[in-house]
Structure 1
């Protein structure tokens, strides 16, 4: 299940809910986390295209918005990618800035502990939303698929991927196996070249984010095929 962006009749309310969750989450955190989330909020409110899920902005412009140098931007954006909040959609090229995409679902999942603080109505909206007529996807997960079983690093990564999106896990991630984990690189094996290429193109950031929460030493995920 991919995360669709807030569009349609209920889009304004959902946008405010997302921004509210991030703001309240920040205020409950330490000063370093507060500053980090404020930077995300700044990017969302100044440059983010909700409809296309695109954040088209260069490192120099981000530095200007954040009042920092480009080295700080590089470090902070890398942190957001490791958290699974931001992924590179199209890398920068000559005469063209990078285009990023935001994973709003991961952001909301990471703020879940403060939903009751905002209010029971907010918690109910986030936890019990039904499939609407628009392409807005609710944040609550379906739990009708059997979770993976394993206590090693890869097993925990699989459990995290399943818990976040059981349907996506069932379609793609459950077919992967871990071949090697060394030197900051996790090498995964897919049963076909098509699956390896597709996951590498679409979902490497999500797999890397899950690894980062279990084994922060992993900085790169490589997906290969058995064929």
Structure 2
């Protein structure tokens, strides 16, 4: 995972940030999302070991914490695993409960649409952590130098400068969605563009995954409006 581990001097700030992101994102969703994310928060706050990234708990105990039956627990835990939030670290055997691990990147990627609701400083901290900078000191910290605002003439591209079609795409995206461009599209660079296929590089797996999952429609529309031959875009993590 690219996100900083919530241990050490700034552990408390990062833990609060994670829980804040989950809570605000839950409140912005429907009742089913709210309930699922509240159940996730309860697991984190009651039984999760932050230092070793382990959730060691049996189905019966979860059912008691959630005030549901074990069948509901089985279904909801499967939903969390399907979303990529949880993975089985050690399968349960007779006399031992299943041990889970949280993928904090996956958890937070599902909340990114709500970061700006908390505040611009929160968004900057999350971007810095996911970008691998890992230098944010928590609330009140100065903006990380690796969080780059949108600059149409100097945004990274092949050779370090966005030019040609990619620069036009970024300008179009910024005109339509400046916040998304500042937060996400501006971090990308064009690696290849041929035969109707575009390959873009992102600074981390988190950014690549988020753009691919949540923002591909806008990205493809902007490219296609300027070059109708573009039919496919792939976003990869640079250096991975």
Tell me if structure 2 keeps the 8 A contact 1:63–1:69. yes
Query: What 5-or-longer segments of structure 2 have no aligned partner?
Result: 138-145, 147-182, 197-204, 211-235
CA distance in 1, matches of 2:34, 2:136: 35
CA distance in 2, matches of 1:8, 1:145: 37
**Residue matched to 2:134:** 131
Tell me if structure 2 keeps the 8 A contact 1:55–1:99. yes
CA distance in 2, matches of 1:27, 1:133: 26
CA distance in 2, matches of 1:2, 1:117: 23
Tell me if structure 2 keeps the 8 A contact 1:115–1:122. yes
**Runs ≥4 in structure 1, deviation > 4 angstroms?**
1-4, 140-147
Structure 1 residue 10: Cα displacement: 1.0
Given the superposition, is the C-alpha separation of residues 170 and 40 from structure 1 closer, same or farther in structure 2, using an over 3 Å criterion?
Answer: same
Instruction: Give the alignment's TM-score, normalised by structure 1.
Output: 0.61
Tell me if structure 2 keeps the 8 A contact 1:5–1:52. no
Return the structure number with greater relative CO, CA threshold 8 A, min gap 6.
1
Tell me if structure 1 keeps the 8 A contact 2:2–2:206. no
Tell me if structure 1 keeps the 8 A contact 2:26–2:37. yes
Tell me if structure 1 keeps the 8 A contact 2:59–2:73. yes
**Residue matched to 1:96:** 96
Structure 1 residue 128: Cα displacement: 3.2
CA distance in 1, matches of 2:12, 2:80: 25
CA distance in 2, matches of 1:93, 1:164: 34
Higher alpha-carbon Rg = 2
Tell me if structure 2 keeps the 8 A contact 1:86–1:100. yes
Give the number of aligned pairs: 159
Tell me if structure 2 keeps the 8 A contact 1:3–1:103. no
After TM superposition, list the pairs within 5 Å mapping 1:71-220 onto structure 2: 71-129=71-129, 130-132=133-135, 143=188, 146=191, 163-164=208-209, 166-167=236-237, 171=240
CA distance in 2, matches of 1:34, 1:133: 29
Structure 1 residue 131: Cα displacement: 3.0
**Residue matched to 2:8:** 8
Equivalent position SS for 2:73: helix
**Residue matched to 1:43:** 43
CA distance in 2, matches of 1:126, 1:116: 11
Instruction: Give the alignment's TM-score, normalised by structure 2.
Output: 0.57
Query: What 5-or-longer segments of structure 1 have no aligned partner?
Result: 152-159, 172-227
